[in-house]
Amino acid sequence: MIWLTAWEAKRLLVGKGRTKFSPDLGISWDYANVNEEGVVFPTGDFLGKDTLKRIARDPSHVYFIKNGQLFKAVIFDNGNVYKLTPVQGGAPTHEINGIRMHRVKDTTPDRAVKRIFYYVHIGPKDYVLDICTGLGYTAQEAARRGAKVTTIEKDQNVLELSKINPWSMDFWKFVETGKIKLIVGDAFEVVRDFDDGSFSTVIHDPPRFAMAGELYSLEFYRELYRVTRPGGVLFHYTGNPGERFRRKSVSKGVIERLREAGWRDVKRLTEIQGVLARKPSRIA
């Protein structure tokens, strides 16, 4: 397939003859042939200039060409809208009903994930629980570092978006080879089935509190504590919704409930907009 964004369309519109472009949202580079009528891609697919101009005016969508047809990476389901949203210079995010699910201010989703792993050290001996798979960026980065990963995603539509996202291809390869175990279900219920101390690291990246309040609850934090090994680490992404204008701190409540659940060394990491905590090595 060929993937296109407004930026790639603009690049092709000013090109002549053999023109360099990215066919996969910035992962790699190739060449297309641009003429007066439009552009011929390495796959043999053709887009006319008018279509390219339409894409160039639309920076909020990812387009892709499959079997000679042009599509938007959008899913409509029961009144809900899911879409891939391009981020210049890196991996796309996804939106659910207009709400972006990754940090994109002054960063890209792929760089943000790598920054988390600067604080949360992952290696071949780790067993990682990744809650709320999304597009699979966290799970695949942990698997690339050699960890054994279990990831949970409730929304099948989000997984379908990941299947057409070139930045998620490693995720699905790791699922196929068994390096990542994907569980489709409600994380609030699924964690109850794990044995005590199953994971050395938990990475919890839930939707906003208003969308999934149960994943911010004391009950859920106690379950995460139970399934984590002594000495294990939890990173909980919180973002900062409402903190700037309403002076309402989600992270403050998260920190209080994590401590009540038994987590220690709980601290806010402003740079990556989350909370880091550790399960005591020795439990009285």
Nearest CA to 47 out of 56, 39, 58, 55 is that of 39
Please give the Cα distance from 133 to 140 (Å, whole number): 10
| Number of alpha carbons in the 13 Å side-chain half-sphere of residue 214 | 9
> 228 near 279, Cβ under 8 Å?
yes
Give the pLDDT of residue 110: 96
pLDDT tens-digit readout, 237-278: 998 755 544 456 788 999 999 999 999 999 999 989 999 999
Give the pLDDT of residue 214: 93
Q: Residues 29-48: what's their mean pLDDT?
A: 96
pLDDT band at residue 209, thresholds of 50, 70 and 90? confident
pLDDT band at residue 131, thresholds of 50, 70 and 90? very high
Q: Residues 84-113: what's their mean pLDDT?
A: 93
Q: Domain segments of the chain: what residues? A: 2-72, 109-278
Fold category of 109-278 in CATH: Rossmann fold (3.40.50)
Q: Is it the case that residue 189 has pLDDT exceeding 80?
A: yes
Written as six digits, the tokens of 40 are 């011929």
The CA-atom distances, in angstroms, between 93 and each of 78, 103, 136 are 21, 8, 11
Q: Of 26-30, 114-118, 206-210, which gets the smallest average pLDDT?
A: 206-210
Q: Of 64-78, 153-167, 182-196, 229-243, which gets the smallest average pLDDT?
A: 229-243
